[in-house]
Chains A and B, each alone.
Chain A
Amino acid sequence: DTGVSQDPRHKITKRGQNVTFRCDPISEHNRLYWYRQTLGQGPEFLTYFQNEAQLEKSRLLSDRFSAERPKGSFSTLEIQRTEQGDSAMYLCASSLVAWGSTETQYFGPGTRLLVL
Chain B
Amino acid sequence: DAKTTQPNSMESNEEEPVHLPCNHSTISGTDYIHWYRQLPSQGPEYVIHGRTSNVNNRMASLAIAEDRKSSTLILHRATLRDAAVYYCIHGGSNYKLTFGKGTLLTVNP
Contacts and interface: CB of A to CB of B under 8 A. Distances in A.
Interface stretch (B13-21, B43-51, B58-66): B43-51
Interface string B71-106: 000000000000001010000001111111110000
A100 B105 CA distance: 33
B98 A45 contact: yes
Contacts of A106: 46
A109 B38 CA distance: 10
Interface in A59-116: 91, 93, 97, 102-110
A4 B98 CA distance: 20
Given A42-B87, A102-B32, A107 B43 contact: yes
Contact of A43 (B34, B45, B94, B99): B99
A2 interface: no
Nearest to A89: B43
Contacts of A35: 97
Contacts of B97: 35, 43, 45, 105
Q: Interface range on chain A: under 10, 10 to 19, 20 to 34, or 35 or more? A: 20 to 34
Contact of B95 (A40, A42, A103): A103
A24 B49 CA distance: 25
A97 B34 CA distance: 16
Interface in A18-61: 31, 33, 35, 40-45, 48, 56
A56 B42 CA distance: 25
Given A102-B32, A104-B49, A43 B44 contact: yes
A96 B45 CA distance: 16
A35 B44 CA distance: 11
Interface of A: 4, 31, 33, 35, 40-45, 48, 56, 91, 93, 97, 102-110
22 contacts: A4-B43, A31-B95, A35-B97, A41-B101, A42-B99, A42-B102, A43-B44, A43-B97, A44-B99, A45-B96, A45-B97, A48-B95, A91-B43, A93-B43, A97-B94, A102-B49, A102-B94, A104-B34, A105-B46, A105-B97, A107-B45, A110-B43
